[in-house]
Amino acid sequence: MSTSEPVQIGTQPLTRDANAAPERAVRERYSKAATQLQPELCCPVNYDPAYLQAIPAEVLQRDYGCGDPSRYLRAGEAVLDLGSGGGKICFIAAQIVGEGGSVLGVDMNDEMLALARTSVPQVAEKIGYVNVAFHKAKIQDLALDRDAVDAHLRANPLRSESDLQAFEAYCDSLRDEQPLVPDASVDVVVSNCVLNLVDPRDKQTMFAELFRVLKPGGRAVISDIVSNQTVPLALHRDAKLWSGCISGAYEETAFLDAFSAAGFRNLEIAELQLEPWQVVEEIEFRSMTVIAYKPASEEDATAEQDNDQQEIIYRGPFAAVMDDAGQEFIRGQRASISPQQSAQLAGSPLQQCFIRMHPSDSQAAGHEPTGPQTTAGNCGPGCC
What's the pLDDT tens digit per position in 246-269?
888 899 999 999 999 999 998 999
pLDDT tens digits, one per residue of 34-79: 445 545 445 668 899 999 999 999 999 888 788 999 999 999 999 9
Residues 92, 67 within the same domain: yes
Average pLDDT for 118-147:
97
296-325 residue pLDDT tens: 874 443 333 444 678 999 999 999 998 887
Give the CATH number of the domain where residue 343 resides.
Answer: 3.40.5
Are 78 and 198 found together in one domain? yes
Domain count, the chain: 2
Q: Are residues 222 and 310 in the same domain?
A: no
pLDDT mean across residues, the chain: 82
Please tell me whether residues 327 and 232 are part of one structural domain.
no
User: Lowest mean pLDDT: which of 97-101, 301-305, 345-349?
Assistant: 301-305
Last residue of a domain, one of 293, 315, 343: 293
* Encoded amino acid at 345, one letter: L
Domain co-membership, 269 together with 196: yes
- Does some domain include residue 162? no
- Does one domain contain both 273 and 343? no
Residues 6+ apart with CB under 8 A from 363: none
Identify which has the larger pLDDT, 308 or 153.
Answer: 153
Residues 206 and 258 in one domain: yes
Based on the fold, state whether residues 260 and 359 are members of the same structural domain. Answer: no
Instruction: Check residue 22 and give its pLDDT.
Output: 58
**Dist. CA 84–CA 126, nearest whole Å:** 20
Q: Which residues have a Cβ under 8 Å from the Cβ of 138 and sit 6 or more positions away? A: 108, 144, 146
Q: Given 242, 259, 293, which residue is the final one in a domain?
A: 293
Q: Can you tell me the mean pLDDT for 314-338? A: 90
| Arithmetic mean of pLDDT, 170-187 | 98
Instruction: Indicate if 334 and 285 belong to the same structural domain.
Output: no
Same domain, 285 and 322: no
CATH of the domain at 213: 3.40.50.150
The reply to whether 64 falls in a domain is yes
SS3 106: strand
Q: 2 in a domain, yes or no?
A: no
The confidence score (pLDDT) of residue 347 equals 62
Where does the chain show beta strands of DSSP type E?
A: 78-82, 102-107, 132-136, 186-192, 214-227, 250-251, 265-272, 278-280, 283-293, 310-314, 320-322, 328-330, 334-337, 354-356
Question: Do the domain assignments include residue 274?
Answer: yes
Q: Quickly list DSSP for 259-328.
A: HHHHT-EEEEEEEE-SS-SEEETTEEEEEEEEEEEPPPPGGGS-TT--SSSEEEEE--SSSEEE-TTS-E
Residue 244 has pLDDT above 90, yes or no: no
Q: Does residue 153 belong to any structural domain of this protein?
A: no
Is 313 inside any structural domain?
yes
Residues 124, 198, single domain; the answer is yes
What is the residue range of 87's domain?
16-143+179-293
Distance CA 244, CA 234 (A): 15
Considering 257, 277, 293, which residue would you say is the last residue of a domain? 293
